[in-house]
Amino acid sequence: MEKKYKRGITIGTFDMFHIGHLNLVKQAKAMCDYLIVSIHSDDYVLKCKHRPTIYSYEDRAAIMAAIKYVDEVVCNEAPIDIHQWEKYHFDAIFIGDDWAGTPGWKKVEDILSSVGSKVEYLHYTGGISTTLIRDKIINTSNSKFEGNKDLTLNR
């Protein structure tokens, strides 16, 4: 079966890999022949989210590269704009539909449409996120180890 796009890309932090991440790359790969996964660097995550990742970029990239739906993993240091398109020449960028209609992604749609590339909003897997996992770990740890606010995971 012929796929809708030749080259596609998806972008994210992909920290604490979970079923939502797998669903995203699986859906994206179903729509393109060659899938690039652009993973935010540790510095970029710290700058944007004001907190460090649990796993290093190298670990997150290794996990993603091992997934059969992924053809290439690249490091991302900036918001999506024309520079990424110029570098990777993707026909579409895939992102969860929870971002549809947001000002930032409307801007990306406009930028990419000028070069014939599209934004494809894929089904978002509800009920799971890295933030929910972090919160659950912290809440579980705090209830088991009363008053332990300094729980951290070793890298």
34 found inside a domain: yes
CATH number, domain at 118? 3.40.50.620
Q: Which two tokens stand for residue 115?
A: 């070069």
- Indicate the pLDDT class of residue 42, thresholds 50, 70 and 90: very high
Distance CA 94, CA 141 (A): 35
Question: Average pLDDT, whole number, for the chain?
Answer: 87
pLDDT tens figures, 55-68: 999 999 999 999 99
Which residues lie below 8 Å from residue 38, measured CB to CB, with a gap of 6+?
9, 10, 11, 12, 73, 74, 75, 76, 84, 88
140, part of any domain: no
Q: Are 91 and 6 in contact (CB under 8 A)?
A: yes
Q: Give the pLDDT confidence score for residue 155 in this predicted structure.
A: 34
- Is 54 a domain residue? yes
Judge whether 19 lies within some domain: yes
pLDDT at residue 142 in the model: 62
Residue range of the domain that includes 54 = 5-124
CA distances to 5, 63, 113, 118, 140 from 104, rounded to whole Å, are: 23, 28, 14, 14, 35
pLDDT reading at 154 higher than 50:
no
As for how many domains the chain has, the answer is 1
Place of tokens 């796009």: 5
101 inside domain = yes
91 vs 80, more confident: 91
Residue 27: CB atoms within 10 Å? 17
Tokens representing residue 6 in the block: 């030749």
> What strands, in cross-sheet order, belong to the sheet with 32-40?
72-76, 32-40, 5-12, 92-96, 118-122
Query: Is residue 131 situated within a structural domain?
Result: no
Per-residue pLDDT at 114: 95
- Whether residue 143 lies inside any domain: the answer is no
Residue 142 in domain: no
Please say if the pLDDT value at position 135 is more than 70: no
